[in-house]
Amino acid sequence: MANLHLLPLLLLALLSPAGAASGEAHASAVVAEKGLDFAKGVLIGEAVRSLTPLRLPGVEKAVRVPFLGAIRVAATNITLFHLDVGDDSAIHPGDTALVVVASGVSANLSMAWSYYYDSWLFPIEISDRGTASILVVLTFCLVLVLIVA
């Protein structure tokens, strides 16, 4: 009497069309919503931990304008030091990957900036430099995580 609760599972396994048609044994799993939420939390947490702090390469651009002079701008020491992902993120299982759509992503960056202008027409040099802290807010960010079977 104690094993009667296994009877529906046994009948389902015996009457399964995939197992009966191919003659091969197989296993399938249904991932519950709680399991997907747990995977999402782990994957997002690991991504944030591996990305922060992140030192990015500097950017420099120089432009020469005829008859006006040259302008040089630069952003250096760019560092992503904090990344926050909102709770509205979603996870969608696919055939070969989990697709994590992270919503409400915000990133804190710091950087040093400078610009320099000089002209051969006017004997004036204009330059400035400083540091900046930047908060970047993204509507969404798409992350693909492949599962190797």
pTM exceeds 0.85 = no
pLDDT at 60: 96
Pick among 3.90.105.10, 3.40.50.720, 3.50.50.60, 3.15.10.10: CATH of 30-146: 3.15.10.10
**Which of the residue ranges 7-16, 34-43, 54-63, 79-88 would you say has the lowest mean pLDDT?**
7-16
CA distances 90 to 2, 44, 47, 97, 134, Å, are 40, 11, 15, 14, 26
Instruction: Give pLDDT tens digits for 106-123.
Output: 889 999 999 999 887 778
Q: Where are the domains of the chain?
A: 30-146
CA distances 4 to 8, 11, 14, 98, Å, are 8, 11, 16, 37
